[in-house]
Chains A and B, each alone.
Chain A
Amino acid sequence: MAAGLVVAQALSDTLGGGSQPDLLEARQMQALSLAVHIPLVCFGIAFPAMFLFVEGLYLRTGDETFKRLATKWSKVALTLFAVGVVTGTILSFEFGLLWPDFMATFGNVFGIAFALEGISFFVEAIFIAIYVYGWQRLSPRAHFLTGVPVVISGFAGSFNVIAVNGWMNDPQGFDVVGGRVTDPRPWDALINDAMWHELIHMYLAGYIVAGFIVAGVYSVAWLRGRRDAYVRTALVVTLSFACLAAPVQIIVGDWAARSVTERQPVKLAAFEGLVETEKGAPFTIGGVFDEDEQRVRWGIEVPHLLSLLARHDPNAEITGLESVPPEDRPPVNVVRFAFQTMVAIGTFLAMLGAVFFVTWLRLRRLPHSRWFYRAVVAAGPLALVALIAGWITTEVGRQPWIVYEVMRTEQAVTAADGLEVGYAALVAVYLVLGSGVFWMLRRLARQG
């Protein structure tokens, strides 16, 4: 959450301000709320699968340890879900409060996706309540079955929301006639080409973030000497999910990058800071993009690497930032930094995953090295940073557009005054909420 704040601030500083001062506040408020909500979504996506899996272990063996673990996890999931409902409600309000013209113009094109998301969300709320409050009250098999809709609706909810984000990057399903949006075709808009890689990438991210965060909690216990079955089971389950998903995520990321190369070449150019269109474009690791000189300084340039990554051909032509006028380019430094942060952390997590997997292959057990567990403890927060960095990459990379090449973000913003007050209030509220949740989770963790 703090990471989100820091990045949101960096975002606003480098953006250099839109023509209306309120645009900046609006973007920051939206970024902040998203940074708070998305980590909770990860738990909504992945945690139910994990506790359901553990309950499955209980049903297969009758071992009470598994049941205790599943019960504990489901209660934590319920609290996180409740906080997620609250933050999600805020996002819904913010769509209207901050971007009334976006909603008024395009609500009838993409709105249906949110109606479906609302339904899946509602179903998830119902069944997670039945699941958590129904332990001991329902037959074991019935109880297990009530967990299944929770897992499915976690996927369905992300499907629908990502569909909208995909649409924002790849708009379709409407016409623009005389400056007005006409003939909305909601189903065409919903199932668009950009959403698939986004969806898989986010879905896996859910497992990686939730898995490593929870594994991190139990790794602390491990490092303190607790080696009982309860801790071991928790570690094995969460690490299995996260460590196997992490390398796959790299492959999906490759797919995503290639998709962006085709559909949003200027966004890709910002990933690197590539100014001129060229064949055999390099990838510069690190460094800072100098706006005045229009080049990256102090980085390590690896020749042909960008062409290789983006098109799998070391001599492929990559479009540069110059292909569009300056007012159509995203802020390069924010996008570059976020992208490279995400990739660096993602690579680290994949390597950590490989260590876990190889240890299991050869020794059929958890690693014993204290360094492994220290790395896992770090992996949770790092995965969170990568998650937010990834969202910043794609959202800021889409600027100045809110609907790619159709509507600019500054056209969408509210004309209402005084957003600074709202922003300050929101920051304060999130700080209070964030500390409250953190404090509560620490207590729950201490109780085992």
Chain B
Amino acid sequence: MRWLLAAFVAGVVLMVAFEHVVTRVLGLLCLFGFIVGGVFLIADPVALGKQEEGMADEPRTGG
């Protein structure tokens, strides 16, 4: 998780603070890494399975 956030922040800094091709490419790589890594981390089957238990215990919240 920590790496993900670091990748996002690094990507933002590289994209916004600089104007060179190299920083652009690196920045984009960091940001895409954030997205792809994030998807794999969040949509993890183990975590999805655990959701079930979590759901069963939670009272149905309104509004």
Q: Do any beta carbons of A and B sit within 8 angstroms of each other in the complex? A: yes
Please report A residues at the B interface, Cβ cutoff 8 Å.
53, 57, 60-61, 63, 66, 196, 200, 227, 229, 232-233, 236-237, 240-241, 244-245, 247-248, 251-252, 254-255, 258, 312, 357, 360-361, 364-366, 368-371
Could you count the A-B residue pairs with CB atoms below 8 Å apart for me: how many are there?
A: 75
Min CB–CB distance A413 → chain B (angstroms): 37
Interface CB pairs A-B, < 8 A, 12 = A57-B43, A233-B43, A233-B48, A237-B43, A244-B34, A247-B8, A251-B27, A254-B15, A254-B16, A364-B47, A364-B54, A369-B63
List of B residues within 8 angstroms of A60 by Cβ: 45
Q: Could you tell me if B35 and A244 are in contact, using CB atoms closer than 8 angstroms? A: yes
Look across to chain A and name the residue whose beta carbon is closest to the beta carbon of B14. A251
Size range of the chain B interface in the assembly: 20 to 34
Q: Could you tell me if A255 and B35 are in contact, using CB atoms closer than 8 angstroms? A: no
Given contacts A232-B51, A233-B48, A248-B8, 16 further A-B contacts (CB under 8 A): A57-B45, A57-B48, A60-B45, A236-B48, A237-B39, A240-B38, A244-B35, A244-B38, A245-B35, A251-B31, A252-B15, A360-B42, A364-B50, A368-B61, A369-B61, A370-B62
Min CB–CB distance A104 → chain B (angstroms): 35
**A200 to B55 alpha-carbon distance, docked (Å):** 37
List of B residues within 8 angstroms of A369 by Cβ: 61, 63
Please report B residues at the A interface, Cβ cutoff 8 Å.
1, 8, 11-12, 15-16, 19, 24, 27-28, 31-32, 34-35, 38-39, 42-43, 45, 47-48, 50-52, 54-55, 58, 61-63
Q: Could you tell me if A241 and B35 are in contact, using CB atoms closer than 8 angstroms? A: yes
Majority secondary structure, B binding face:
helix
List of B residues within 8 angstroms of A370 by Cβ: 61-63
Min CB–CB distance A205 → chain B (angstroms): 13
Q: Could you tell me if B34 and A53 are in contact, using CB atoms closer than 8 angstroms? A: no
List of A residues within 8 angstroms of B63 by Cβ: 369-371
Checking A227, A240, A248 against B42 with a beta-carbon cut-off of 8 angstroms, the contacting residue is A240
Known: A63-B45, A200-B28, A254-B15. A366 touches B51 (CB 8 A): yes
